[in-house]
Protein backbone atom coordinates (compact mmCIF):
# COMPACT_ATOMS: atom_id res chain seq x y z
CA UNK A 1 0.00 0.00 0.00
CA UNK A 2 2.80 2.40 0.98
CA UNK A 3 4.72 1.53 -2.19
CA UNK A 4 1.61 2.19 -4.28
CA UNK A 5 1.05 5.56 -2.58
CA UNK A 6 4.70 6.44 -3.03
CA UNK A 7 4.57 5.63 -6.76
CA UNK A 8 1.38 7.69 -7.14
CA UNK A 9 3.02 10.60 -5.29
CA UNK A 10 6.11 10.42 -7.53
CA UNK A 11 3.94 10.34 -10.66
CA UNK A 12 2.00 13.38 -9.43
CA UNK A 13 5.23 15.22 -8.71
CA UNK A 14 6.52 14.44 -12.19
CA UNK A 15 3.21 15.55 -13.77
CA UNK A 16 3.00 18.81 -11.89
CA UNK A 17 6.71 19.39 -12.41
CA UNK A 18 6.31 19.02 -16.19
CA UNK A 19 3.16 21.15 -16.18
CA UNK A 20 4.88 23.85 -14.16
CA UNK A 21 7.86 23.80 -16.55
CA UNK A 22 5.49 24.14 -19.53
CA UNK A 23 3.73 27.13 -17.92
CA UNK A 24 7.06 28.78 -17.14
CA UNK A 25 8.26 28.29 -20.73
CA UNK A 26 4.97 29.71 -22.05
CA UNK A 27 5.22 32.71 -19.73
CA UNK A 28 8.81 33.33 -20.80
CA UNK A 29 7.76 33.17 -24.47
CA UNK A 30 5.01 35.70 -23.83
CA UNK A 31 7.27 38.04 -21.85
CA UNK A 32 9.80 37.92 -24.65
CA UNK A 33 6.97 38.67 -27.07
CA UNK A 34 5.92 41.77 -25.13
CA UNK A 35 9.52 43.00 -25.00
CA UNK A 36 10.06 42.19 -28.67
CA UNK A 37 6.98 44.14 -29.76
CA UNK A 38 8.12 47.13 -27.72
CA UNK A 39 11.54 46.82 -29.34
CA UNK A 40 9.80 47.58 -32.62
CA UNK A 41 7.83 50.43 -31.04
CA UNK A 42 11.05 51.88 -29.66
CA UNK A 43 12.66 51.66 -33.12
CA UNK A 44 9.69 53.63 -34.44
CA UNK A 45 10.11 56.23 -31.68
CA UNK A 46 6.62 55.48 -30.33
CA UNK A 47 5.36 55.14 -26.75
CA UNK A 48 5.58 51.59 -25.34
CA UNK A 49 2.63 49.23 -25.00
CA UNK A 50 1.93 48.12 -21.43
CA UNK A 51 0.80 44.58 -20.75
CA UNK A 52 -2.90 44.23 -19.98
CA UNK A 53 -3.89 40.88 -18.49
CA UNK A 54 -7.53 41.18 -19.57
CA UNK A 55 -6.50 41.63 -23.19
CA UNK A 56 -4.08 38.73 -22.75
CA UNK A 57 -6.94 36.46 -21.62
CA UNK A 58 -9.04 37.46 -24.63
CA UNK A 59 -6.13 36.96 -27.04
CA UNK A 60 -5.26 33.58 -25.51
CA UNK A 61 -8.85 32.36 -25.74
CA UNK A 62 -9.01 33.25 -29.42
CA UNK A 63 -5.65 31.59 -30.13
CA UNK A 64 -6.89 28.36 -28.54
CA UNK A 65 -10.20 28.64 -30.44
CA UNK A 66 -8.39 28.94 -33.78
CA UNK A 67 -6.08 26.04 -32.95
CA UNK A 68 -8.85 23.74 -31.71
CA UNK A 69 -11.05 24.30 -34.77
CA UNK A 70 -8.14 24.39 -37.27
CA UNK A 71 -9.33 27.71 -38.65
CA UNK A 72 -8.10 31.27 -39.19
CA UNK A 73 -9.44 34.79 -38.90
CA UNK A 74 -10.75 37.33 -36.39
CA UNK A 75 -14.32 36.05 -35.94
CA UNK A 76 -15.73 33.15 -33.95
CA UNK A 77 -18.92 31.14 -34.37
CA UNK A 78 -21.42 31.01 -31.49
CA UNK A 79 -22.24 27.41 -32.34
CA UNK A 80 -18.66 26.18 -31.81
CA UNK A 81 -17.02 25.17 -28.55
CA UNK A 82 -14.64 27.68 -27.04
CA UNK A 83 -16.64 30.64 -28.33
CA UNK A 84 -15.80 33.81 -26.37
CA UNK A 85 -17.06 36.56 -28.67
CA UNK A 86 -17.84 37.27 -32.30
CA UNK A 87 -15.17 39.95 -32.74
CA UNK A 88 -12.02 41.00 -30.88
CA UNK A 89 -13.84 43.76 -28.98
CA UNK A 90 -16.61 41.36 -27.93
CA UNK A 91 -14.04 38.90 -26.58
CA UNK A 92 -12.19 41.62 -24.69
CA UNK A 93 -15.39 42.88 -23.04
CA UNK A 94 -16.43 39.35 -22.11
CA UNK A 95 -13.18 38.92 -20.14
CA UNK A 96 -13.67 42.25 -18.35
CA UNK A 97 -12.24 44.92 -20.63
CA UNK A 98 -14.32 48.10 -20.55
CA UNK A 99 -14.35 48.97 -24.26
CA UNK A 100 -14.99 47.27 -27.58
CA UNK A 101 -12.36 49.54 -29.14
CA UNK A 102 -9.70 46.86 -29.73
CA UNK A 103 -7.22 46.27 -32.57
CA UNK A 104 -6.28 42.65 -33.25
CA UNK A 105 -3.41 41.08 -35.18
CA UNK A 106 -2.98 37.36 -35.86
CA UNK A 107 -0.02 35.47 -37.30
CA UNK A 108 0.93 31.83 -37.72
CA UNK A 109 4.63 31.54 -36.90
CA UNK A 110 6.75 29.13 -34.87
CA UNK A 111 6.81 31.56 -31.91
CA UNK A 112 5.59 35.01 -30.85
CA UNK A 113 8.71 36.86 -32.03
CA UNK A 114 8.60 35.26 -35.48
CA UNK A 115 4.92 36.16 -35.74
CA UNK A 116 5.66 39.80 -34.91
CA UNK A 117 8.39 39.84 -37.57
CA UNK A 118 5.92 38.43 -40.09
CA UNK A 119 3.24 40.99 -39.23
CA UNK A 120 5.69 43.87 -39.63
CA UNK A 121 6.64 42.44 -43.04
CA UNK A 122 3.08 43.03 -44.29
CA UNK A 123 1.50 46.22 -45.58
CA UNK A 124 -1.80 46.32 -43.68
CA UNK A 125 -1.23 44.40 -40.45
CA UNK A 126 1.82 46.45 -39.43
CA UNK A 127 -0.49 49.49 -39.24
CA UNK A 128 -2.09 48.02 -36.10
CA UNK A 129 1.26 48.05 -34.32
CA UNK A 130 1.95 51.56 -35.66
CA UNK A 131 -1.31 53.02 -34.35
CA UNK A 132 -0.91 56.46 -32.75
CA UNK A 133 -3.33 56.01 -29.87
CA UNK A 134 -2.80 52.49 -28.48
CA UNK A 135 -0.84 52.08 -25.25
CA UNK A 136 -1.72 48.61 -23.89
CA UNK A 137 -1.56 45.10 -25.27
CA UNK A 138 -2.32 41.47 -24.52
CA UNK A 139 -0.64 38.58 -26.34
CA UNK A 140 -2.06 35.08 -26.64
CA UNK A 141 -0.19 32.06 -28.00
CA UNK A 142 -1.16 28.49 -28.79
CA UNK A 143 1.46 25.76 -29.10
CA UNK A 144 0.21 24.95 -32.60
CA UNK A 145 1.90 28.17 -33.73
CA UNK A 146 -0.85 30.76 -33.46
CA UNK A 147 -0.18 34.22 -32.03
CA UNK A 148 -2.98 36.68 -31.30
CA UNK A 149 -2.18 40.27 -30.31
CA UNK A 150 -4.98 42.45 -28.91
CA UNK A 151 -4.25 46.17 -28.51
CA UNK A 152 -6.24 48.86 -26.73
CA UNK A 153 -6.29 52.42 -25.44
CA UNK A 154 -6.17 52.90 -21.66
CA UNK A 155 -7.71 56.38 -21.80
CA UNK A 156 -10.69 55.12 -23.79
CA UNK A 157 -11.03 52.20 -21.37
CA UNK A 158 -11.03 54.59 -18.42
CA UNK A 159 -13.61 56.81 -20.13
CA UNK A 160 -15.89 53.80 -20.54
CA UNK A 161 -15.54 53.00 -16.83
CA UNK A 162 -16.80 56.43 -15.75
CA UNK A 163 -20.11 58.26 -16.27
CA UNK A 164 -21.76 57.88 -19.67
CA UNK A 165 -23.11 60.61 -21.93
CA UNK A 166 -26.77 61.58 -21.69
CA UNK A 167 -26.87 64.41 -24.24
CA UNK A 168 -24.95 65.50 -27.33
CA UNK A 169 -23.18 63.44 -29.98
CA UNK A 170 -22.25 59.99 -28.77
CA UNK A 171 -20.67 56.71 -29.89
CA UNK A 172 -22.78 53.66 -29.10
CA UNK A 173 -20.28 51.01 -30.20
CA UNK A 174 -17.24 52.00 -28.06
CA UNK A 175 -18.54 51.25 -24.55
CA UNK A 176 -21.46 49.30 -23.16
CA UNK A 177 -23.09 52.70 -22.62
CA UNK A 178 -23.02 55.81 -24.85
CA UNK A 179 -19.70 57.67 -24.90
CA UNK A 180 -19.48 61.35 -25.84
CA UNK A 181 -17.69 61.84 -29.17
CA UNK A 182 -15.69 64.73 -27.72
CA UNK A 183 -14.43 62.61 -24.84
CA UNK A 184 -13.36 59.81 -27.16
CA UNK A 185 -11.53 62.25 -29.41
CA UNK A 186 -9.71 63.78 -26.42
CA UNK A 187 -8.60 60.32 -25.28
CA UNK A 188 -7.26 59.52 -28.74
CA UNK A 189 -5.50 62.89 -29.07
CA UNK A 190 -3.65 62.55 -25.75
CA UNK A 191 -1.67 59.53 -26.93
CA UNK A 192 -1.24 60.95 -30.43
CA UNK A 193 0.47 63.93 -28.82
CA UNK A 194 2.97 61.64 -27.05
CA UNK A 195 4.09 60.06 -30.34
CA UNK A 196 6.37 61.56 -33.05
CA UNK A 197 4.99 63.81 -35.81
CA UNK A 198 6.17 61.29 -38.45
CA UNK A 199 7.01 57.60 -38.25
CA UNK A 200 8.38 55.35 -40.98
CA UNK A 201 9.19 51.69 -41.32
CA UNK A 202 11.60 49.95 -41.72
CA UNK A 203 14.33 51.76 -39.75
CA UNK A 204 18.04 51.10 -39.21
CA UNK A 205 17.50 49.66 -35.70
CA UNK A 206 16.02 46.35 -36.91
CA UNK A 207 17.14 44.46 -40.01
CA UNK A 208 14.34 43.01 -42.12
CA UNK A 209 13.71 40.29 -44.70
CA UNK A 210 13.94 41.38 -48.36
CA UNK A 211 10.35 40.54 -49.31
CA UNK A 212 6.77 41.20 -48.23
CA UNK A 213 4.81 38.49 -46.44
CA UNK A 214 1.43 37.53 -47.89
CA UNK A 215 -1.61 38.73 -45.96
CA UNK A 216 -5.39 38.80 -46.12
CA UNK A 217 -6.77 41.06 -47.45
CA UNK A 218 -4.17 41.01 -50.19
CA UNK A 219 -2.86 44.46 -51.23
CA UNK A 220 -0.19 43.21 -53.61
CA UNK A 221 -0.31 43.43 -57.37
CA UNK A 222 2.33 40.76 -58.02
CA UNK A 223 3.21 37.31 -56.68
CA UNK A 224 6.41 38.45 -54.99
CA UNK A 225 7.14 42.01 -53.89
CA UNK A 226 9.80 43.63 -51.75
CA UNK A 227 9.57 44.65 -48.10
CA UNK A 228 6.97 47.45 -47.91
CA UNK A 229 7.98 50.93 -46.79
CA UNK A 230 5.37 52.79 -44.74
CA UNK A 231 5.25 56.49 -43.80
CA UNK A 232 2.61 57.79 -41.37
CA UNK A 233 1.97 61.44 -40.56
CA UNK A 234 0.55 62.07 -37.09
CA UNK A 235 -2.83 63.86 -37.42
CA UNK A 236 -2.23 65.60 -34.08
CA UNK A 237 0.64 67.54 -35.67
CA UNK A 238 -0.65 67.64 -39.25
CA UNK A 239 -4.04 69.30 -39.53
CA UNK A 240 -4.25 68.55 -43.24
CA UNK A 241 -2.96 65.90 -45.60
CA UNK A 242 0.67 66.41 -46.72
CA UNK A 243 1.35 66.25 -50.46
CA UNK A 244 4.02 63.79 -51.54
CA UNK A 245 6.31 65.21 -54.22
CA UNK A 246 8.75 62.33 -54.71
CA UNK A 247 9.91 59.15 -52.97
CA UNK A 248 13.06 57.24 -53.90
CA UNK A 249 14.78 54.10 -52.68
CA UNK A 250 18.44 53.40 -53.51
CA UNK A 251 20.87 50.64 -52.63
CA UNK A 252 24.29 51.16 -50.99
CA UNK A 253 25.83 51.92 -54.38
CA UNK A 254 23.30 54.62 -55.16
CA UNK A 255 21.40 52.51 -57.67
CA UNK A 256 17.69 53.38 -57.77
CA UNK A 257 15.39 50.52 -56.78
CA UNK A 258 12.30 49.96 -58.88
CA UNK A 259 9.01 50.65 -57.11
CA UNK A 260 6.20 48.22 -57.96
CA UNK A 261 3.40 49.98 -56.09
CA UNK A 262 2.64 53.32 -54.46
CA UNK A 263 -0.35 53.20 -52.14
CA UNK A 264 -2.26 55.90 -50.28
CA UNK A 265 -5.88 56.55 -49.39
CA UNK A 266 -6.80 57.43 -52.96
CA UNK A 267 -5.89 54.02 -54.42
CA UNK A 268 -6.11 51.71 -51.40
CA UNK A 269 -8.57 49.08 -52.59
CA UNK A 270 -9.34 47.89 -49.05
CA UNK A 271 -9.88 51.42 -47.67
CA UNK A 272 -7.59 50.73 -44.71
CA UNK A 273 -5.20 53.65 -45.20
CA UNK A 274 -6.03 57.04 -43.71
CA UNK A 275 -5.30 60.34 -45.46
CA UNK A 276 -2.02 60.45 -43.53
CA UNK A 277 -0.70 57.04 -44.61
CA UNK A 278 1.63 56.38 -47.56
CA UNK A 279 3.36 53.18 -48.66
CA UNK A 280 5.87 52.20 -51.32
CA UNK A 281 6.52 48.61 -52.31
CA UNK A 282 9.79 47.94 -54.16
CA UNK A 283 10.86 44.91 -56.10
CA UNK A 284 12.32 42.15 -53.95
CA UNK A 285 15.41 43.43 -52.14
CA UNK A 286 18.61 41.48 -51.52
CA UNK A 287 19.84 39.83 -48.32
CA UNK A 288 22.47 41.62 -46.25
CA UNK A 289 22.28 44.99 -48.04
CA UNK A 290 21.89 48.61 -46.92
CA UNK A 291 19.23 50.83 -48.47
CA UNK A 292 18.52 54.55 -48.33
CA UNK A 293 15.02 56.02 -48.54
CA UNK A 294 14.28 59.68 -49.26
CA UNK A 295 10.98 61.56 -49.25
CA UNK A 296 10.16 65.08 -50.37
CA UNK A 297 6.73 66.45 -49.44
CA UNK A 298 4.95 69.75 -49.06
CA UNK A 299 2.87 70.91 -46.12
CA UNK A 300 1.12 74.28 -45.92
CA UNK A 301 3.19 75.61 -48.78
CA UNK A 302 6.56 74.52 -47.35
CA UNK A 303 8.80 71.92 -49.02
CA UNK A 304 10.20 69.41 -46.53
CA UNK A 305 12.38 66.32 -46.81
CA UNK A 306 13.01 63.11 -44.90
CA UNK A 307 15.91 60.69 -45.39
CA UNK A 308 16.77 57.46 -43.55
CA UNK A 309 18.53 54.12 -44.01
CA UNK A 310 17.67 50.50 -43.25
CA UNK A 311 19.20 47.10 -43.94
CA UNK A 312 18.08 43.59 -44.77
CA UNK A 313 19.13 40.67 -42.62
CA UNK A 314 22.49 39.01 -43.19
CA UNK A 315 22.29 35.37 -44.29
CA UNK A 316 23.13 32.79 -41.61
CA UNK A 317 25.98 30.29 -41.98
CA UNK A 318 24.08 27.61 -43.91
CA UNK A 319 21.89 30.04 -45.86
CA UNK A 320 22.80 30.12 -49.55
CA UNK A 321 21.55 32.56 -52.15
CA UNK A 322 21.45 30.62 -55.41
CA UNK A 323 23.63 32.70 -57.73
CA UNK A 324 25.66 29.89 -59.31
CA UNK A 325 24.56 26.87 -61.31
CA UNK A 326 26.71 24.55 -59.17
CA UNK A 327 26.56 24.87 -55.38
CA UNK A 328 28.97 22.93 -53.18
CA UNK A 329 27.56 21.76 -49.84
CA UNK A 330 28.54 19.30 -47.12
CA UNK A 331 26.60 16.04 -46.65
CA UNK A 332 24.34 15.41 -43.64
CA UNK A 333 23.74 19.09 -42.93
CA UNK A 334 20.63 21.21 -43.26
CA UNK A 335 20.85 24.14 -45.67
CA UNK A 336 18.46 26.88 -46.68
CA UNK A 337 18.54 27.65 -50.40
CA UNK A 338 17.09 30.98 -51.48
CA UNK A 339 16.26 31.90 -55.06
CA UNK A 340 16.71 35.64 -55.65
CA UNK A 341 13.70 36.55 -57.83
CA UNK A 342 14.43 38.02 -61.24
CA UNK A 343 10.97 39.59 -61.52
CA UNK A 344 7.83 40.16 -59.40
CA UNK A 345 6.35 36.93 -60.77
CA UNK A 346 9.45 34.80 -60.11
CA UNK A 347 8.09 33.00 -57.06
CA UNK A 348 9.18 29.45 -56.23
CA UNK A 349 6.30 27.29 -55.03
CA UNK A 350 7.60 23.74 -55.62
CA UNK A 351 10.74 21.88 -56.67
CA UNK A 352 11.85 18.47 -57.95
CA UNK A 353 15.14 16.67 -57.50
CA UNK A 354 17.07 13.96 -59.34
CA UNK A 355 19.82 11.99 -57.62
CA UNK A 356 21.65 8.62 -57.54
CA UNK A 357 19.88 5.73 -55.80
CA UNK A 358 22.28 5.69 -52.85
CA UNK A 359 21.61 9.37 -52.01
CA UNK A 360 18.97 10.23 -49.44
CA UNK A 361 17.30 13.65 -49.50
CA UNK A 362 15.08 15.42 -46.99
CA UNK A 363 13.62 18.80 -47.89
CA UNK A 364 10.65 21.14 -47.79
CA UNK A 365 9.61 24.68 -48.71
CA UNK A 366 10.54 26.67 -45.61
CA UNK A 367 9.56 30.17 -46.65
CA UNK A 368 9.26 32.54 -49.57
CA UNK A 369 11.53 31.26 -52.37
CA UNK A 370 13.39 29.22 -49.74
CA UNK A 371 14.03 25.46 -49.70
CA UNK A 372 15.33 23.66 -46.61
CA UNK A 373 17.30 20.61 -47.67
CA UNK A 374 19.56 17.89 -46.23
CA UNK A 375 21.46 15.44 -48.43
CA UNK A 376 22.97 12.18 -47.21
CA UNK A 377 25.61 10.87 -49.57
CA UNK A 378 29.29 10.68 -50.42
CA UNK A 379 31.59 13.54 -51.45
CA UNK A 380 31.51 14.15 -55.20
CA UNK A 381 27.91 12.99 -55.67
CA UNK A 382 25.50 15.42 -57.31
CA UNK A 383 21.82 16.25 -56.98
CA UNK A 384 19.90 18.23 -59.60
CA UNK A 385 17.20 20.60 -58.36
CA UNK A 386 14.52 21.79 -60.77
CA UNK A 387 12.60 24.80 -59.43
CA UNK A 388 9.01 25.61 -60.31
CA UNK A 389 10.22 28.49 -62.51
CA UNK A 390 12.20 26.01 -64.63
CA UNK A 391 15.64 26.94 -63.29
CA UNK A 392 18.08 24.09 -62.63
CA UNK A 393 20.61 24.00 -59.82
CA UNK A 394 23.31 21.37 -59.21
CA UNK A 395 24.12 20.57 -55.58
CA UNK A 396 27.51 18.88 -55.28
CA UNK A 397 28.51 17.16 -52.05
CA UNK A 398 31.91 18.41 -50.96
* Per-residue confidence in pLDDT tens, the chain, 398 aa: 554 544 555 554 455 554 455 545 567 889 999 999 999 999 999 999 999 999 999 999 999 999 999 999 999 999 999 999 999 999 999 999 999 999 999 999 999 999 999 999 999 999 999 999 999 999 999 999 999 999 999 999 999 998 777 788 999 999 999 999 999 999 999 999 999 999 999 999 999 999 999 999 999 999 999 999 999 999 999 999 999 999 999 999 999 999 999 999 999 999 999 999 999 999 999 999 999 999 999 999 999 999 999 999 999 999 999 999 999 999 999 999 999 999 999 999 999 999 999 999 999 999 899 999 999 999 999 999 999 999 999 999 99
Amino acid 294: pLDDT: 98
Amino acid 13: pLDDT: 47
Amino acid 28: pLDDT: 82
Query: Cβ(285)–Cβ(227) under 8 Å?
Result: yes
Q: Is the pTM of this model over 0.85?
A: yes
Amino acid 10: pLDDT: 52
Amino acid 24: pLDDT: 52
Amino acid 14: pLDDT: 53
Query: Cβ(89)–Cβ(99) under 8 Å?
Result: yes
Distance CA 237, CA 258 (A): 31
Amino acid 15: pLDDT: 53
- Cβ count within 10 A of residue 148: 29
Distance CA 287, CA 210 (A): 6
Amino acid 27: pLDDT: 75
Amino acid 260: pLDDT: 98
Query: Cβ(293)–Cβ(307) under 8 Å?
Result: yes
Decide: helix, strand or coil at residue 62: helix
Beta strands, E only, 154-265: 170-171, 179-180, 198-201, 229-233, 243-251, 259-263
DSSP class of 191: H
Amino acid sequence: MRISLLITFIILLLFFGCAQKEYIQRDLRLEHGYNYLNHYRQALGMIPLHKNLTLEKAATAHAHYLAFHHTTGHTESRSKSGFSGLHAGDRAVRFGYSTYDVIENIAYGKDVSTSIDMLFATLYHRLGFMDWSIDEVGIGYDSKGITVVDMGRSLVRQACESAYARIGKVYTNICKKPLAVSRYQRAIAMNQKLNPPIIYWPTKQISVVPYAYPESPNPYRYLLEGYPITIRFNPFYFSQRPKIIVFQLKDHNGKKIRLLQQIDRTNDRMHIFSSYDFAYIPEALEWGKMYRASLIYSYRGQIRSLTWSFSTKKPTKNFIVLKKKVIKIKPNRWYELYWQPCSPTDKITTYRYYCPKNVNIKGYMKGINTIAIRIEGKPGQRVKLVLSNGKRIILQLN
